[in-house]
């Protein structure tokens, strides 16, 4: 599964005990929930709702872990930390953009993975 640049489905494969139907279901859930979470973070930042922003970023971390998107784990942790300080809107905006950009690649790779699994 190393043919992917962003995702690594080894954990998900192990977690689902190589059950293709479960893998497809979890990937589908991620493809549904992650874009919503990223959009929520953008809105929460715009509204300066740092408490909810921190919560949304925190809830995205395990989802990224299941899909093996390790490259932005630290980025999401930094979003949480900066949201706690409430004064780093520009930095948070750049971090959210990085998460969004990486996830866009992941979405494509995950859709390809579903095609291979199905």
Give, in words, the CATH class of 10-117. mainly alpha
- What pLDDT digit, counting tens, does each position of 87-112 carry? 799 999 999 999 999 999 999 999 99
Residue 97, CB half-sphere, CA atoms under 13 Å: how many? 6
Going from N- to C-terminal start, the domains of the chain cover 10-117
Is residue 3 very low, low, confident or very high in pLDDT (cuts 50, 70, 90)?
confident
Q: Is the pLDDT of residue 61 over 70?
A: yes
- What pLDDT digit, counting tens, does each position of 67-80 carry? 999 999 999 999 99
Q: Is the pLDDT of residue 2 over 70?
A: no
Supply the pLDDT for residue 11: 94
pTM above 0.75, yes or no: yes
The answer to whether 76 and 92 are in contact (CB under 8 A) is no
CB atoms within 10 A of CB 54: 19
The answer to whether 78 and 116 are in contact (CB under 8 A) is no
């Amino acid at each position: 599964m190393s043919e992917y640049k962003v995702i690594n489905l080894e954990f998900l494969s192990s977690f689902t005990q190589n059950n293709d139907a479960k893998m497809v279901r979890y990937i589908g859930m991620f493809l549904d929930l992650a874009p919503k979470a990223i959009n929520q973070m953008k809105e929460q930042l715009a509204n300066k709702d740092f408490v909810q922003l921190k919560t949304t970023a925190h809830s995205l971390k395990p989802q990224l872990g299941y899909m093996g998107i390790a490259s932005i784990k630290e980025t999401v942790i930094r979003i949480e930390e900066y949201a706690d300080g409430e004064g780093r809107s520009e930095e948070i905006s750049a971090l959210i953009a990085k998460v969004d950009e990486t996830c866009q690649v992941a979405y494509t790779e995950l859709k390809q993975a579903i095609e291979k699994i199905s």
